[in-house]
Amino acid sequence: HITVFALLALSAFIFLTACGPVPRTSQSPPAAQPTVAALLTPKTLESTLRLDPGIEEIPFYPQIAESTHGDVVAVWEQFDGERHSIWGNSRRVHQDWGRAHVIQTSDTGHSYSPRVAVNALGQAAAIWVQMDSALQTYGIWSSRLEPGAGWGAAVQVERGNVGPTYAPGIAIDDRGHAVAAWQQSDGSRVNVRASWFTPGAGWGQASPLEQGKGDLGTPQVAMDAGGNALVVWPRFHLDRSELWASTYVVGGAWDQAMRIDSVPGYVHTPRAMAVASVPSQFAVLWDHHEGFVTGPAGVWASQYQPGRGWRASSAPCADKLQVLATARADKVSLAASAKPLPTTNTEICY
C-alpha cells in the first residue's frame, strides 16, 4: 500500500515535473537540466528516524521552494504520536537530499502551517505557527538555512501578545533580508501584520498593514531580488470581499494599504503572484465572483512597479480561469526572474 512517506516523495516529484525549472537571473550560471532518470527516481525527504519505535511518524503539508540556481528546500509538519513539529531538508544543485532535521528548536507546544522561501544564494527562511502552551495562544516562529551551515536556532517573530496568529507567509531577497506576514486576531477582528528581517539584527517589531473595517484573509508575500516587497490579502466586509495590498520599497517603509481590485463582488486569496527583478515588477492574478461561491467567475490581474505604483486592474482572462504563465500552475511564490513581466494585463494570460 502507499505510505504517507511515499505521498510526500510523490508531492516533490509532482512539483518538479509539473513546475519545471525556475527562470534564472542574468548573473546565474546555466542550471543543468534534470535527466529523465533523475525525475523518475523520487526521494523520500523525511528522515527515517523514529522517536518511538512503536509509532510511525506522519508528515503533513510539505512546502518546497527552489532558487534560481536549482537549490531546493523543503519544510513540513510532522506528528510523532504526541506533538506536531516542523522539519526541514535541503538539496544543493547537482547534489542529493541531505538528512531531515527538526528545525523547531523550542518546545512550547504544537507547530503548524510551515512556509519556506529561498534566494539565489541558496539561503532559506522558514516560518510557522507555534503554540505557547503556557499562555494558551499561538505565535509566529522562524528559522534560517545557511548553505554549508544548516538550520539556525528558531526565533520568535511574533509572540501572539496581541492575539492568536494564523497562516504565515514569507519571502527572502538575495541579500538575506526577509519579510513575513500573517493573520492575527485582536479579539474583535482578524488583522494582517508583518515583520522585517535584517541580517545581523534579526526580526523587527511587527506592525499591522491595514486598520480598515472587516476581517482580513490569508496574506501572500513576495520580494524581488533587491528587497522590494509586496503583501496582498483579501478583506471581508458586509456583503463583499476585496483585494488589498501594501508595498515596501527599499530604504523606505510600508506604504498605506490600498485596494487593488475595482468592481463589487467577492475576491478570495490570490491564485498567483509573479515577480521580476529587471526591472522590479510584481503581478497579481485572482478569481473574482459575483456571488460568494456562485455567479460568473472571471480572472483579474493587476501589476505593480516600485516608483510607478499600481496599474488599473482588468479582467484579461475572461472566464478561462487561466493562471500567470510565469507563475507555473498556481504556484504562489516565485524566485526572481531576469525577464520583465508583460507590459499589459492581457499579455499575462495564455
**pLDDT per residue over 199-219, tens digit each?**
999 999 999 998 777 889 899
Residues in contact with 188: Cβ distance below 8 Å, sequence separation at least 6, in sequence order: none
First to last CA, the chain: 39
pLDDT at 327 (0 to 100): 37
- The domain in which residue 62 lies consists of 4-47+56-208
316 pLDDT tier (thresholds 50, 70, 90): low
Residue 62 domain flag: yes
Q: If you ran DSSP here, which 8-state letter would residue 349 be given? A: B
Which range (31-35, 74-78, 167-171, 303-307) has the least confidence? 31-35
Residue 228, classed as helix, strand or coil, is coil
Query: In the predicted model, what is the mean pLDDT of residues 70-87?
Result: 91
Residue 264 falls inside a structural domain: no
- Is pLDDT above 70 for 13? no
Cβ count near 237 (within 10 Å): 13
User: Rounded to whole angstroms, what are the CA distances from 221 to 12, 58, 146, 347?
Assistant: 22, 28, 21, 23
260-309 residue pLDDT tens: 988 778 887 776 777 876 668 888 888 777 766 665 567 778 888 888 88
φ, ψ dihedrals at 69, nearest 5°: -95, -10
Residue 148 has pLDDT above 80, yes or no: yes
Residue 134 within any structural domain of the chain: yes
- Measured CA to CA, the distance from residue 75 to residue 95 in angstroms comes to 18
The pLDDT tens digits of the residues spanning 160-186 come to 677 889 999 999 999 999 999 999 988
99-112 b/e (C-beta count within 10 Å ≥ 16 → b): ebbbbbeeebbbbb
Grid-cell match 488589498, residue found:
244
For the chain, percent helix, then strand, then coil, each to nearest 5?
5, 45, 50
Percentage of residues in the chain having pLDDT higher than 70? 69
Asked, for residue 80, whether it belongs to a domain, the answer is yes
Q: What is the mean pLDDT of residues 105-121?
A: 91
Comparing 115 with 214, the larger pLDDT belongs to: 115
Q: What is the mean pLDDT of the chain?
A: 75
pLDDT at 219: 93
Q: Count the residues in the chain.
A: 350
Check residues 194 and 322 and name the one with the higher pLDDT. Answer: 194
The single-letter DSSP state of residue 220 is: E
Binned at pLDDT 50, 70 and 90, residue 130 comes out as very high
Is residue 140 within 8 Å of residue 180, measured between CB atoms?
yes
pTM score of the predicted model: 0.76
How is residue 263 written as a grid cell?
468592481
Cα separation, 224 vs 269, whole angstroms? 21
Is 327 contained in some domain?
no
The grid coordinates of residue 218 equal 490569508
If one counts the domains in the chain, the total is 1
- Under 8 Å CB-to-CB from 146, ≥6 apart: which residues? 123, 152
Instruction: State the pLDDT at residue 73.
Output: 95
Residue 283 is assigned to a structural domain of this protein:
no
pLDDT at position 132 is 84
182 within domain boundaries? yes
Instruction: State the pLDDT confidence band at 5, using cuts at 50, 70 and 90.
Output: very low
Cβ neighbours for 40, distance < 8 A, ≥ 6 positions apart:
none
Q: How confident is the model at residue 84 (pLDDT cuts 50, 70, 90)?
A: very high
110 phi and psi angles, rounded to 5 deg: -60, 150
- Provide the residue type at 334 as one letter: L
What is the percent of the chain with per-residue pLDDT over 90, rounded to a whole number?
35
Check if the beta carbon of residue 76 is closer than 8 Å to that of residue 8: yes
